[in-house]
Amino acid sequence: MLKHIAIICDGNRRWAKEKGLPALKGHQEGANAVERLINAGLELNIPVMSFWVMGVDNFGRSKEEVSWLMKLSRIWIKKAFDKYTKKNIQFRLCGLRDKPAPKDVIDLFEKLENDTKNSTGLIVNICFNYGGHTELMDATKRIIADGLQPENITEETFEKYLWTDGLPHPDLILRTSGEQRLSGFMPWQSRYSEFYFPNYNFPEMNKEKLEEALKEFENRNRRFGKG
């Protein structure tokens, strides 16, 4: 059974360009798609959903675009307090708790995380200010800082230092827009993940498309290296 679906939210700008709209409109529609999918996840009883919404590298885009994305993030998080805290959803922030993201946005995410930490329903893991290599580097640095000796570092120990500590590895990783790569997303956690690369852009995602992905997953034969 699928326990965790992770979605790389790609194609917001492409969607806008195809429709002759500004790129900023594409990001806004992408934020709306995240809301639709969270609601769909509740209806479909999915235990964990991860959304890669903002990579560390994305902060290298134009000042105008980054500023708009941060404004959109503030609005989305504040709406989440009203929309989802009563639905037993647990939110998690998966990413750096530091630069290049603005401190006030991280603070908002952490408040949402703290306020919903005791929720027992759907876990929504927001990958913001995230990079797979950055995650591995951060884990390594904290292991060194804690003074762990090499002989005491097991896979289980290492996992506790990852930002996904306590979450099951993703069974299915979906990337929209037709791009067939992970771009460094969850390099440790994706060892036995199934991949799904639909051609539509992220703002087009909805419950029906999510169900299509789940049906595709159900037809996969997962061996976990055992034959």
Name the residues annotated as catalytic. Answer: 10, 58
Contact 163, 87 (CB under 8 A): no
Residue 12: exposed, middle, or buried by beta-carbon count in 10 A (0-12, 13-18, 19+)? buried
* CA-closest candidate to residue 50, choices 17, 3, 116: 3
What tokens were used for 176? 């929209």
Locate tokens 């060194």: which residue?
144
DSSP characters for 30-82? HHHHHHHHHHHHHHTT-SEEEEEEEEGGGGGS-HHHHHHHHHHHHHHHHHHHH
Q: What is the Cα–Cα distance from 208 to 20, expressed in whole angstroms?
A: 25
Give the number of other CB atoms < 10 A from CB of residue 103: 10
Task: Give whole-number Cα distances, 132 to 41, 183, 205, in Å.
Answer: 24, 8, 24
Beta bridge partners of 7: 51, 174
Beta bridge partners of 126: 51, 93
